[in-house]
Amino acid sequence: MHQTPWMTSDILSRLNANAGMLLVRSLWEYCPEHMFIVRVEGPTDFVVEAMNPTRQAMLGNDTIAIGKRIEQLLPPHMGHGVIANLKRCVECRSPIRYEEEGGYIDRNGICQQGHWQTLLVPITNQEGYVTHLFGVSRDMSLLSNQPGGAYPNSKEFERRVHERTAELIAANEHLTHLATHDPLTDIYNRRYLLELAELELRRAFRYEQPLCLMMLDVDHFKEINDVEGHLAGDEALRRVAHTILATVRECDLVGRYGGDEFIILMPETTAAGASEIAERLQRTLSQTTPLTISIGIASLEPADRFVVDLIHRADALLLQAKRNGRNRIECAA
C-alpha cells in the first residue's frame, strides 16, 4: 500500500489507532474535493501538514508542499488572502467559508488560474487552543468541464462539503471521547484526568485558591466479583460513577484511577466543603444502591508540586478509612 502525507502527519497519525479510522481514511483518500490540514504556528504563520490525494494531484510531488509555509506555495497576492482567512478562522474559533480568485503552480510548474470556494474548520487541543485548520476547497471554474450533474451548482458543492465535514468532525469528536474516557464507566480515564488535574493545580497556585482531591473505592468490591461475578462488579462501578456525576458540581473533575478506585478533583473547595460533598455522595449511594464507599480527602498544601502529592495523601487517608471500618470519610484538616 502506498503511503500518503496524511500518514506522516502527527494529527492524523494519532487517529490511526482508533476504531473510526476507516471512515476518516475513506473521506480523506476518496473525496473529490481538495482537502488539507495546516498547522498554526503563529498569528500569521501557517505550515502545510497534510494534503489528500486530490490536492497532491493538483500540486504534484507532495514532499514539495508538506512542511512549507503558505507564502512559500502561493503567489503573494493569493497567499496574503489565504493567510488572512486562516487567521480569521483561528480568531473566531468556528468554521468559515470564503471564495477567492487566484492561481497556483501545478505539478508541471505552470501557473493555473481558478475560482476557489473553501471551507475552513478549526481543530483545538485539550486546552481549547486552535492548533490546526482543516480545509476543503473546490475550483468552481472547473464545473463546466465536469460531466452533467456531477456538480450542478455551488449549493450542491456546499452541501457535499458540509456533509463530509460534519462526518469528519463527528468522527474526530468520537475518537477524542474514546481517547479521554474510561470505556466501562464513561468518565475520564486516568491519563486524561491527571492531565486536567495538573492544569487545575497550577491554576490554584496562580490565583491562591483552595483545592481538594478525593479518592474513594467500593467497599468489599472483591467479594462482589468473587460471589456475584465480574459482570456484577462492572455494574457496581458504573453505578458508582453515575452517582458521582449526579452528585458533584460541573466544575469538579471525575475519573477512574484504576480498579474500583475513583478520583474527584474539586477546584476552589476547602476541606470542609469537600467533606460535605463526600457525605452527600455516601448518602445518595446508600439510598439508591446496596453499595458503600470509603473516602480519603487531601487538601492542597504549599509544598505540593504535582497532583501525585495530593493523591498520595488521599490514598493514605482512604486506607485509614478502610482500617477504621469502611464506609467512612477521612479528611486531612
Whether residue 45 is found in the same domain as residue 64: yes
Query: Are 166 and 266 part of one and the same domain?
Result: no
Domain-located, residue 316 = yes
Higher per-residue pLDDT: 297 or 165:
297
**Whole-number pLDDT of residue 274:** 96
Which whole number is the average pLDDT over 234-249? 96
Handedness of CA 225, 227, 231, 235 (dihedral sign): negative
Domain count, the chain: 2
Q: Do 214 and 157 share a structural domain?
A: no
| Assigned domain for 228 exists | yes
**What is the pLDDT at residue 184?**
96
Cell numbers that stand for 165 in this block: 465535514
How far is C-alpha 312 from the geometric centre of its chain's CA atoms?
Answer: 28
* The predicted structure's pLDDT at residue 46: 92
- Statement to judge: residues 235 and 123 lie in one domain: no
Residue 330 vs residue 119, higher pLDDT: 330
What is the C-alpha to C-alpha distance for residues 32 and 24, in angstroms, rounded to an integer? 14
Q: Is the pLDDT of residue 205 over 50?
A: yes
Residue 184 lies inside a defined structural domain of this protein: no
pLDDT of 160 higher than 90: no
Looking at the fold, whether 85 and 162 belong to one and the same domain comes out as yes
Please tell me whether residues 217 and 300 are part of one structural domain: yes
Q: Please give the pLDDT value at position 143.
A: 54
pLDDT band at 154 (very low <50, low <70, confident <90, very high): low
Give yes or no for residue 52 having a pLDDT over 70: yes
Residues constituting the chain: 333
CA angle 21, 68, 128 (to 5 degrees): 55
Query: End of a domain among 146, 179, 212?
Result: 179
Residues 32 and 60 in one domain: yes
Please give the mean pLDDT across all residues of the chain: 82
Least confident of 95-99, 151-155, 169-173, 318-322: 151-155
- pLDDT, tens only, 64-75: 678 888 888 777
Give me the CATH number covering residue 283: 3.30.70.270
**Count of CB atoms within 10 A of residue 230's CB?**
10
Exposure string of 175-197, with b = 16+ CB inside 10 Å and e = fewer, is bbeeebbbeebebbbeebbbebb
Residue of higher predicted confidence among 323 and 31: 323
Q: What is the C-alpha separation between 292 and 322, in angstroms, rounded?
A: 11
Residue 50 corresponds to which cell in the numbers above? 497534510
User: What domain range includes position 224?
Assistant: 190-331
**CATH code of the domain in which 114 resides:** 3.30.450.20
Indicate the pLDDT class of residue 24, thresholds 50, 70 and 90: low
Would you state the pLDDT for residue 78? 76
Residues 99 and 166 in one domain: yes
Question: What is the greatest pairwise CA distance in the chain?
Answer: 81
**Higher pLDDT residue, 106 or 194?**
194
Is there a single domain that holds both residue 28 and residue 57? yes
Q: Show which of 179, 201, 229 is a domain's final residue.
A: 179
Looking at the fold, whether 200 and 319 belong to one and the same domain comes out as yes
pLDDT band at 6 (very low <50, low <70, confident <90, very high): very low
